[in-house]
Copies of this chain bind each other. A is one copy, B any other.
Amino acid sequence: MKKPPDLLLDTLRAAVGAAHVLTHEDPSADLAAWEQDWRKRTRGRALAVVRPASTAEVAAVVKACAAAGTAIVPQGGNTGLVVGSTPDASGTQVLLSLTRLNAVRGIDAANLTMTVEAGCILQTLQEVAEKAGFLFPLSLAAEGSCTIGGNLGTNAGGTQVVRYGNARELCLGLEVVTPQGEVWSGLTGLRKDNTGYDLRDLFIGSEGTLGLITAATLKLYPLPAAVTTALASLDWLDSAVEFLSLAQARLGASLTGFEVMNRFSLDLVRRHFPQLAQPLPGAGWTVLLEQSDNESEAQATQRFESLLEAALERGLITDAAVAASLEQARTLWHLREAIPLAQSLEGLNIKHDISVPISRIPAFVRATDEALERAVPGVRLVDFGHLGDGNLHYNVQAPAGVDAQRFLAEHEERVNGIVYDAVMAHGGSISAEHGIGALKREELARRKSPVALKLMRAIKQALDPHGRMNPGRVL
């Protein structure tokens, strides 16, 4: 007689085809790509990796797992940073990969929407939109391999949030398979729909713990006529906040990017990527700003230069370099994007993805820099991120010459405590855009208001009473 797991595997094979149910029983199958998290912090072991190709197949898999009492861990591109999409070590969880649901179901030009399946790669969607004459503005480092389902499941952010919002703001409708294996067809292309509770936003950002997003209707935007990019150097972070206010007043919604980098971030880039030219070296702080214009290149450049001149006159910035070509603009963005890579090359470090109100960013950084320096003399701080959204990747590197592994072992908990205490004291969030996953689950339980946690638990219990959807994540 077959054991229960074998019966489940048979049902899953019948549902999605034997070729799409991968198990450790098959000596030729290597499940590492699904079982290992992106940052290589943990490696789990799945009962099986199941790869349905349609919403109906996803529903069949969920129903089979519900009947068998088996937990499901959904996964898109597996690029998450908080251990949210890999199985635990028990060997009992089904890893449900959504990458075969990768159809673009349609583009509605006059409605400025596209309807796509969860497994579509983000970059593919950017390209599909552009080919149709539109912009899909979600953009982040992992765009070449992350999926839109994962982006929505984690409410991803990225570099254009200051203008277009997070993944949440870019989504009008969802198709979701519930923990019971039912399909909610909420794929509306409507900009206004006040017929009851906002289920869409409840699923977005719930990290697969309430149901599985299988498709989405997304907002498109007209392609801008011109995009201009510049670097500006500043002495103080306070000036960066004032510069942001000025840019918002002058450019309005044309301001599509506003990134900040401290000196040490760019020093690390210089050390590890000396081939990348740095037009404004040695500044205490550097801002990368981007403007998108719907009219013309000339108009965009004129407006941009006028902003930079005003900022120079007011003493907010000390110097500026405007990209004269698309090529130069790319180089400026490379500087920003090279920071996480340079950090990795420098050695292991303690990462944070925090936000505070923009107005409180300078005070937060001052207080936290000082507290960390007191706690770990010589500690090196890689402060950079999306200032336009109040979101910093406030990362902590070992003092020069100190072994990184030992630094982490000795100081990670204490450093996190200092940073998160400061975040809370400044009205901020311990996870701005990466989510909670398994990595920040305990921190969330400690830091989130008890009333909010109670509400969240009540919702989880109501929708997934047996706790089968991505257990051990978020709550």
A456 contacts chain B at the CB level, 8 A cutoff: yes
Shortest A140–chain B CB gap in Å is 12
A410 within 8 A of B: no
Annotate A183-204 by CB proximity to B: 1 below 8 A, 0 otherwise: 1111011111111111101101
Using known A-B contacts A194-B432, A196-B452, A432-B190, determine if residue A108 contacts B463 with beta carbons closer than 8 Å: no
Contact with B along A252-284 (1 / 0, CB 8 A): 111000000000000000000000000000000
Binds B, one of A121-129, A352-360, A374-382: A352-360
- Nearest chain B CB to A152 CB, angstrom units: 12
Q: Are A391 and B192 in touch, CB under 8 angstroms?
A: yes
Known contacts A190-B355, A357-B111, A390-B111; decide if A436 and B195 are in contact (CB<8 Å).
Answer: yes
**Residues A108 and B357 in contact in the complex (CB < 8 Å), given A161-B192, A194-B155:** yes
Interface check A459, CB cutoff 8 A: yes
CB-based nearest B residue for A454: B182
- How does the 8 Å CB contact mask read for A306-320 relative to B, with 1 for contact and 0 for none? 000000000000000
0 or 1 for each of A352-376: is its CB under 8 Å from B? (1 = yes): 0001111110000000000000000
A475 within 8 A of B: yes
Q: Are A241 and B110 also in contact (CB < 8 A) when A222-B248, A253-B254, A451-B182 are? A: yes
Q: Are B204 and A198 in contact (CB under 8 A)?
A: yes
A91-125 contact mask (Cβ, 8 Å, vs B): 1 or 0: 00000000000000000111111000000000000
The answer to whether B190 touches A428, judged by C-beta atoms less than 8 angstroms apart, is yes
Establish whether residues A202 and B194, one from each chain, have CB atoms under 8 Å apart when the complex forms.
no
**Is A194 a contact partner of B436 (Cβ separation < 8 A)?**
yes
By a CB distance below 8 angstroms, the chain B residues around A428 are: 190
Asked if A351 CB lies within 8 Å of chain B CBs, one says no
| CB contact under 8 A between A458 and B463, given known A192-B433, A359-B108, A429-B194 | yes
Contact with B along A204-234 (1 / 0, CB 8 A): 1110001000000000011010000000000
Minimal Cβ-Cβ distance residue in B for A462: B462
Are A431 and B252 touching (Cβ within 8 A)?
A: no
Number of copies of this chain that the complex holds: 2
The answer to whether B249 and A222 have CB atoms under 8 Å apart is: yes
Which of B191, B197, B252, B390 is in CB contact (< 8 Å) with A224?
B252
Q: Produce 1/0 per residue, A290-320, CB < 8 A to B.
A: 0011110000000100000000000000000
Which A residues form the contact surface with B (CB < 8 A)?
108-113, 154-155, 157, 161-163, 165-166, 168-169, 178, 182-186, 188-199, 201-202, 204-206, 210, 221-222, 224, 241-242, 244-245, 248-254, 292-295, 303, 355-360, 386, 389-391, 427-436, 440, 444, 447-449, 451-456, 458-463, 474-475
Beyond A221-B252, A252-B253, A253-B253, list 19 extra A-B contacts (CB 8 Å). A109-B245, A110-B242, A110-B245, A110-B359, A111-B359, A111-B390, A157-B192, A162-B191, A165-B169, A166-B192, A178-B451, A190-B356, A190-B428, A193-B432, A194-B205, A196-B474, A202-B459, A253-B254, A295-B303
